[in-house]
Amino acid sequence: MERILDNQHSVLITGGAGFLGSRLCKKYIDQGSQVICLDNLSTGRLGNISPLLNHPRFSFLKHDVTQPVQIPKQVSLIYNMACPASPPKYQANPIHTMKTNVQGALNLLDLALEHDARILQASTSEIYGDPDISPQRESYHGNVNTVGPRSCYDEGKRAAETIFHDYRDFHGADIRIARIFNAYGPGMDPKDGRVVSNFITQALQNKPITVYGDGSQTRSFCFLEDMVEGLMALMHCDADPGDPVNIGNPDEFTVAELAGLVLAQTGSKSDLSFRALPQDDPRRRRPDISVAQSTLGWSPKVSLRQGLDTTIPYFKAEIACARKPIAH
């Protein structure tokens, strides 16, 4: 079933005040859609959507997805982005993180059936855990600890995939599942705690760069615009890919290499400060994106170097803004 994107359509974006969700809100407003942003503002910021708040086609609902969701207008597309993505944030209240993933999936799927809407789940590379194979292709079932500090997120997202899949098979829900690999870019919360925001804000202030472990673990970083285009391509593709699809950039970097790039591109005088590697921190992360390439015709275009060039000035402005004295 093709969902044509025009201004007849109404899009619900849960987690719409967050890093990725707010970019999706803007994209759909720019394309003429009606947008409802639903968020509990736990890790999201109203500042991310402040330029949209007075727009006639935009509305904001402060709500927690663990509670049943009712929407005043008919919606045809739902992005379920609601969930903290940063390890320190999702570990701060692990039980609520699990509920957000499981109860949130159930509530949003019930809403999708009620509205006959297509629904996309923001899943994650974390469902692969600490992978035994690299790159990770969708058929790999993962290596996840059920009882570690990351489990509330990893297992919550795994359960959400199962719930989505079963709603499709048992209730005919029109679903999409995106396995998102580390995204970064303008709009990230400088205090988010993820590696890209930490390294850039530390470098810009000439503070020590906190490398966890020896920095040899790898991640594959995908620039915001590429990620959002990938998610939208998956949402709007005519052919149902059926199963989850990896969305990410396959260029793999060690954390130490990322630190080197950030230091060079900011011109910082910071030193590296090595800290303990968090428990269950995955050793490698690199997506096999052949499914996304063949079924969506999507590939990322922005290199890490280019993406950092766009992201560094954003953080510079955020730091300057935070330092500005409050006028009396």
Residue numbers of the site for ligand NAD (CB under 6 A)? 14-15, 17-21, 39-44, 64-66, 81-85, 100, 104, 122, 124, 180, 182-183
Least separation in angstroms between CB 249 and ligand NAD: 11
Closer to ligand UDP by CB, 33 or 124: give it.
124
Q: By C-alpha distance, which of 143, 223, 236, 240 is closest to 183?
A: 223
**Residues in 110-169 that interact with ligand UDP by CB under 6 A:** none
Q: Which listed residue (90, 153, 167, 184) is catalytic? A: 153
* Tokens 């390294």 belong to residue: 199
Q: Is 153 a catalytic residue?
A: yes
Least separation in angstroms between CB 183 and ligand NAD: 4
Report helix, strand and coil shares of the chain as percent, to nearest 5: 40, 20, 40
* Tokens 């999702």 belong to residue: 90
Based on the shown chain and the rule CB under 6 A, indicate whether residue 211 belongs to the binding site for ligand UDP. yes
Based on the shown chain and the rule CB under 6 A, indicate whether residue 265 belongs to the binding site for ligand UDP. no
Q: Is the peptide bond before 135 cis (omega within 30 degrees of 0)?
A: yes
Q: Which residues contact 129 (CB under 8 A, 6 or more apart)?
A: 142, 143, 144, 145, 154, 280, 282
Based on the shown chain and the rule CB under 6 A, indicate whether residue 182 belongs to the binding site for ligand UDP. yes
Closer to ligand NAD by CB, 39 or 225: give it.
39
Q: By C-alpha distance, which of 124, 227, 139 is closest to 185?
A: 227
What string of DSSP letters covers 254-282? Answer: EHHHHHHHHHHHHT--PPEEEEPPPTT--
Instruction: Name which position in 10, 48, 217, 246 contacts ligand UDP (CB under 6 A).
Output: 217
The option from ligand NAD, ligand UDP, none interacting with 19 (CB < 5 to 8 A, set by class) reads ligand NAD
Residue 70 and residue 25: Cα distance in Å, rounded? 19
What letter represents residue 45's amino acid?
Answer: R
Residue 235 and residue 31: Cα distance in Å, rounded? 15
Instruction: Name which position in 96, 219, 284, 286 contacts ligand UDP (CB under 6 A).
Output: 219
Least separation in angstroms between CB 169 and ligand UDP: 30
Residues touching ligand UDP: how many (CB under 6 A)?
A: 13
Backbone φ, ψ for residue 10 (5° rounding): -125, 130
- List, by residue number, the catalytic residues: 153
Q: Which chain residues interact with ligand UDP by CB under 6 A? A: 87, 182, 194-195, 198, 210-212, 217, 219, 255, 278, 281
